[in-house]
Structure formats: structure tokens, C-alpha cells
């Protein structure tokens, strides 16, 4: 099968490389010339474990190629994925300009039937809008081709993206279809938007064929309406974010009552109905998805006049959690302190800096007259472009901690987890360790002679 993936970012690039790994012919397309130049050389512009090996293998086998020109690959494509970014607008709704640009370009140049798949996270109704936009352009061009729009939201986690793509928990596909005994049929005889003609392409069958190497090993492929698929993505992220905010909500309570949030999370998580994942208290969620998707879902709810107060609270608690941790640090530091920072990326195993706590905290520390020495194993190059001047970047974790009055852990990279706390005490000037991810056992930190400031644990 011939596939084009438009947008070679964290989602598009991983999808492109994995589809090639599964034996499909894939062209990755991006408007960023520097990115495409790197990719043609077999170098990954992002850090994602295992990705570069797949890119190299794909290029070598000829199954994977890259271009900046969407028109170039269009003539042969069966399925086109749009995996462009959908960042927040000023009112927190999703900015869909890139999605519509891709749809427009496709409709302006397509000369045969193909399936257009929205992989980006987009609000409900976006697939319909894309379909209408393309139908209008095709009509103007007097082109009798069919471009059904399918929703296939992405659930990968950065840092585990290759595994998540090749072995996903589930694949969700929303195809325009009619209800038939409670089941969405989609495909050939589907009911389509008023502007489009009846599709000759069987989008459902093509999607089934595309994902067969994955469904063959037992992974579920769920078909549903396009609208349901669009909502599944936001609902999943909002639910996970809510679980995080729920446990974080209890941390201040624990600090005030001398309880320990870890014991509470364990006591709750062993209940099968609750489960232990996403019950790890910390400075809250960041990254390219949870913050923007939670807010975009709220924007959609507002548009529909709906009360999503649980999700509103999730967002509010998350902001407060970050703020509370920063306040603790600022209150403890003496004037003109030197602060070591461990971790800059929004989470481990990625170089993604979007909505990373470091982007908020480090400028505040500088503004308050403190010196900052930071270390991250993979995100320092990206961080340097986003952080203000005046921050020094260390060569190693211990280099960042050397002579520091306080150390703040912001990202739970494995190499920080395994740090020798006695060595840390020996090289630091001060004794304050702020553990933003509740990585260390408070008693161990205290035994090493350091003062532990965790989250949801009394001092
Ligand atoms: N990053 C994640 O972990 C993740 C997970 C699930 C879903 N998503 C969703 O997937 C989508 C993409 O996210 P991402 O993190 O990969 O974004 P990204 O910013 O890393 O990548 C987007 C890419 O699209 C390119 N692009 C923009 N306009 C283009 C155009 N007109 N033609 C060709 N290329 C264009 C950009 O240059 C960039 O390389 C978003 O909707 C996001 O919410 C992201």
C-alpha cells in the first residue's frame, strides 16, 4: 500500500517509519526543509528511542522516503495521513489551520480516489469540515474523485512511541457510515456529507488492510463514527489528566495532615477498579498533549453550552500544583542562591520541551536573583532555544549539583533516579533537595544528610 504522512513531527515521523517497517511504501512530507534534509540523511530530528534505526532501515529498503513537496507523492497515494500540529489558539481552542491547509492542497492536486486520514488531535466535526472543504474544491475543479475523510487519532506516548505504534493497546478508526444494528458500517455504502458524492472508495477496507500486520497479532481495531473517534482522543487525555489531578489534589491535604501520598496512591491503586497507573503525585502534567487537549475539550464544551466542570477542575488543579511547588522552592531559597536543575524535558525519554515545568520555573528563579545550572541528557539543545540567557548548562548531573545551595528534580530520567545521594550531599553546598516527581524515598534522602522536599509528604 502507498501512504503519505504529512507532518514529520513526533507523531507523523513515528507513524511513517513504523508503516514502512510494516512493509508499506511511505513518503513523509514536511514543510520544514531542514527536517527533511536531516531525514533524507537518515538522521532523526527528534529524540525518540528506536526511531532512528527504523528510519535508516526504511531508507535502505526503499520503503521510506521524504520530501517537502506534497504534490510530488500524491499521484500514487492510497491513504494520506495528516499528522500536522494542532496547537492552542489564544482562546484555547485547537488551531486547525495546518489541517485545513493540508486538506486544501490535497483537493487542489488530487486526480484519483484516496483516503484522507486525520491523525492529528482535532475537535469533533473537523473531519466533516475537511470533507466539505475538499468536496467544494474538487467540484470547482470539475474532478470526479472521491476523498473520504477518516479519523484515526493517535495515542502514542513520547519516549515509547515506536512500541506504542507497532503494538498499540487499540487502534481507533472513525469512518463515515450508517448505523446498522448498532454497528457503524462505514465504507462503500456510507452516508456522506451533503457536499460529497457517494464514495466509491471503501475507506474501512483500506484501513483494515493497512493495519492488518498489527491486528494479526491480536491488537484491537475499533471502527466507529468519525465523530466518536474524534471525541475518544480528547476523552482519553482528559480522563488520564483527571486521574493525575485527582491524586495531586490530595497532596496538600497529606502535607497538612502528616499523611504520605505514596501510601495513599498504593492503597488506592491496588483496587482493580482504580489501578495504580497515573496515580503518581508530582508537579502535574505538561507536554504537548494533556494541557492543550484538556483546554481544547473545555473550549468545545463551551461552544456546545455543556458543563464539563470535572475537566475544568483538572486544569485548575494542575496549574495550582505547579505553582505550589515553585512557591515552596522560592520560600526556602536564601537570596542569590545557586540552584541545580535535574531535567528540562516535560518527561523522560524525550527532548520535547512543550509545556515543560522548566520553562516556567527557570525564568522565575533568574528573576528572583538566583543562579541556575541545569542538566538534561537529551533536551538541552531544545531548551537553550527557549530559555532566557543567563542559565548555565552542565555537562553531567553532578556538574549541575556541584556547589549548589539547592537541587530541584523536574524530570524523572532514570539516571537521576539512581543518583548516589551521599555523593550528592558531598558536592552540594546546601542541603535542600526538591523532588518534583517524588522519585526518592524521603528517609534515604534524610539519611544522606539532605533535606527532602517532596510532594504530598510532610517535611
Ligand atoms: N506528540 C505527541 O505525543 C502526540 C500524541 C498523540 C497525538 N498527538 C497529536 O498529533 C498531532 C501532531 O503532533 P506532533 O507532536 O507530532 O506535532 P509536531 O509539531 O512535532 O509536528 C508537526 C509537523 O507538521 C509540520 N507541518 C506543519 N504544517 C505543515 C504542512 N502544511 N505541510 C506539511 N507539514 C506541516 C511541522 O513542520 C512539524 O514538523 C497534534 O494534533 C497532536 O495533538 C501528539
Domain boundaries, the chain: 2-169, 239-453
Task: Report the run of H or E that residue 363 belongs to, with start and end.
Answer: helix 357-367
Number of Cα atoms under 13 Å in the Cβ half of residue 208: 11
Nearest to 401 by CA among 342, 334, 320, 361: 342
Hey, how many other C-beta atoms are within 10 angstroms of the C-beta on 214? 18
User: Mutation test of ligand 1: which of 4, 6, 9, 238 has the most ligand atoms closer than 8 Å to its C-beta?
Assistant: 9
Which tens digits make up the pLDDT trace of 26-77?
A: 999 999 999 999 999 999 999 999 999 999 999 999 999 999 999 999 999 9
Distance 433 CA to ligand 1 centre (A): 36
- Please give the distance of CA 375 from its chain centroid, rounded to a whole number: 22
Q: Judge whether 147 and 107 are in contact, CB under 8 Å.
A: yes
Residue 260 is given by DSSP the state: B
Q: Judge whether 199 and 190 are in contact, CB under 8 Å.
A: yes
For residue 6 and ligand 1, the question of a CB distance below 6 A is answered with yes
- pLDDT score, position 458: 79
Q: Judge whether 410 and 361 are in contact, CB under 8 Å.
A: yes
For residue 156 and ligand 1, the question of a CB distance below 6 A is answered with yes
Q: State how beta strands 149-151 and 25-29 pair.
A: unpaired
User: Mutation test of ligand 1: which of 17, 30, 356 has the most ligand atoms closer than 8 Å to its C-beta?
Assistant: 30
Three-class DSSP category at 150:
strand
Three-class DSSP category at 116:
strand
pTM of the model: 0.93
Q: Which residues of 166-205 are buried (b: 16+ CB within 10 A; e: fewer)?
A: bebeebbbbbbbeeeeeebbbbeebebbeebeebebbbbe
Q: What stretches of 158-290 adopt beta strand conformation (E)?
A: 171-174, 179-180, 183-184, 221-224
Backbone dihedral angles phi then psi of residue 336, each to the nearest 5 degrees: 55, 45
Contacts of 310 (CB under 8 A, 6+ apart): 242
- pLDDT score, position 345: 97
Residue 314 is given by DSSP the state: H
User: Mutation test of ligand 1: which of 4, 5, 7 has the most ligand atoms closer than 8 Å to its C-beta?
Assistant: 7
Catalytically annotated residue among 18, 73, 130, 289: 289
What is the CATH code of the structural domain delimited by 2-169? 3.40.50.720
Hey, how many other C-beta atoms are within 10 angstroms of the C-beta on 49? 15
Q: State how beta strands 149-151 and 115-118 pair.
A: parallel
Q: How far apart are CA 163 and CA 158, in angstroms?
A: 10
Which tens digits make up the pLDDT trace of 130-180?
A: 999 999 999 999 999 999 999 999 999 999 999 999 999 999 999 986 434
Domains 2-169 and 239-453 share a fold: yes
Contacts of 91 (CB under 8 A, 6+ apart): 299
Q: What stretches of 134-269 adopt beta strand conformation (E)?
A: 149-151, 171-174, 179-180, 183-184, 221-224
Nearest to 360 by CA among 315, 393, 327: 327
Q: Judge whether 229 and 172 are in contact, CB under 8 Å.
A: yes
Distance 197 CA to ligand 1 centre (A): 30
For residue 355 and ligand 1, the question of a CB distance below 6 A is answered with no
pLDDT along the chain (459 residues), means of 10: 97 98 98 98 96 98 98 94 97 97 98 97 97 97 96 97 98 76 43 39 93 97 97 98 98 95 97 97 95 98 98 98 97 98 97 97 98 98 97 98 98 96 98 97 96 91
- pLDDT score, position 176: 84
Grid cell digits, residue 138: 474538487
For residue 373 and ligand 1, the question of a CB distance below 6 A is answered with no
Q: What stretches of 137-278 adopt beta strand conformation (E)?
A: 149-151, 171-174, 179-180, 183-184, 221-224
Nearest to 357 by CA among 326, 313, 379: 326
- pLDDT score, position 189: 41
Q: Mark whether 289 is an active-site residue.
A: yes
What is the CATH code of the structural domain delimited by 239-453? 3.40.50.720
Nearest to 347 by CA among 231, 427, 240, 214: 240
- pLDDT score, position 177: 62
Q: How far apart are CA 179 and CA 189, in angstroms?
A: 11
Amino acid at each position: 500500500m502507498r501512504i503519505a504522512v504529512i507532518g514529520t513531527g513526533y507523531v507523523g515521523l513515528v507513524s511513517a517509519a513504523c508503516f514502512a517497517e510494516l512493509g508499506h511504501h511511505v513518503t513523509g512530507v514536511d514543510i520544514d526543509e531542514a527536517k527533511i534534509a536531516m531525514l533524507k540523511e537518515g538522521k532523526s530530528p527528534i529524540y525518540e528511542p528506536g526511531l532512528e534505526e527504523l528510519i535508516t532501515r526504511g531508507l535502505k529498503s526503499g520503503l521510506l522516503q521524504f520530501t517537502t513537496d506534497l504534490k510530488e507523492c500524491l499521484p500514487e497515494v492510497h491513504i494520506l495521513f495528516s499528522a500536522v500540529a494542532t496547537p492552542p489558539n489564544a482562546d484555547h481552542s485547537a488551531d486547525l489551520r495546518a489541517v485545513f491547509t493540508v486538506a486544501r492542497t490535497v483537493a487542489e492536486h488530487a486526480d484519483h480516489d484516496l483516503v484522507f486520514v486525520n491523525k492529528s488531535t482535532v475537535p469533533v466535526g473537523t473531519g466533516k469540515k475537511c470533507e466539505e472543504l475538499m468536496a467544494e474544491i474538487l467540484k470547482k475543479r470539475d474532478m470526479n474523485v472521491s476523498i473520504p475523510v477518516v479519523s484515526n487519532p493517535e495515542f502514542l506516548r513520547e519516549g515509547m512511541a515506536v512500541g506504542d505504534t507497532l503494538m498499540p493497546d487499540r487502534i481507533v478508526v472513525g469512518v463515515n457510515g450508517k448505523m446498522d444494528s448498532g454497528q457503524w458500517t462505514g465504507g462503500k455504502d456510507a452516508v456522506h456529507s451533503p457536499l460529497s458524492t457517494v464514495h466509491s472508495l471503501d475507506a474501512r477496507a483500506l484501513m483494515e488492510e493497512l493495519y492488518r500486520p498489527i491486528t494479526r497479532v491480536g491488537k484491537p481495531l475499533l471502527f466507529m463514527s468519525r465523530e466518536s473517534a474524534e471525541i475518544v482522543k480528547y476523552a482519553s487525555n482528559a480522563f488520564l489528566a483527571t486521574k493525575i489531578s485527582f491524586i495531586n489534589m490530595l497532596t496538600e491535604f497529606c502535607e497538612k495532615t502528616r499523611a504520605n501520598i505514596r501510601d495513599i496512591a498504593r492503597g488506592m491503586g491496588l483496587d482493580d477498579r482504580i489501578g495504580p497507573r497515573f496515580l503518581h503525585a508530582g508537579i502535574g502534567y505538561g507536554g504537548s498533549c494533556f494541557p492543550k487537549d484538556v483546554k481544547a475539550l473545555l473550549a468545545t464544551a463551551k461552544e456546545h453550552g455543556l458543563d464539563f466542570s470535572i475537566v475544568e477542575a483538572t486544569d485548575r488543579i494542575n496549574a495550582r500544583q505547579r505553582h505550589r511547588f515553585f512557591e515552596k522552592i522560592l520560600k526556602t531559597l536564601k537570596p542569590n542562591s545557586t540552584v541545580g536543575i535535574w531535567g528540562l524535558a516535560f518527561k523522560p525519554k524525550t527532548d520535547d520541551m512543550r509545556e515543560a515545568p522548566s520553562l516556567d520555573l527557570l525564568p522565575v528563579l533568574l528573576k528572583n536573583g538566583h543562579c541556575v545550572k541545569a542538566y538534561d541528557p537529551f533536551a538541552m539543545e531544545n531548551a537553550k532555544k527557549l530559555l532566557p540567557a543567563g542559565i548555565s548548562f552542565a555537562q553531567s548531573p553532578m556538574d549541575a549539583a556541584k556547589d549548589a545551595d539547592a537541587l530541584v528534580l523536574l524530570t524523572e530520567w532514570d539516571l537521576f533516579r539512581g543518583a548516589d545521594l551521599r555523593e550528592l550531599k558531598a558536592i552540594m553546598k546546601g542541603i535542600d533537595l526538591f523532588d518534583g516527581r517524588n522519585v526518592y524515598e524521603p528517609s534515604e534522602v534524610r539519611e544522606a544528610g539532605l533535606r527532602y522536599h517532596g510532594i504530598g509528604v510532610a517535611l
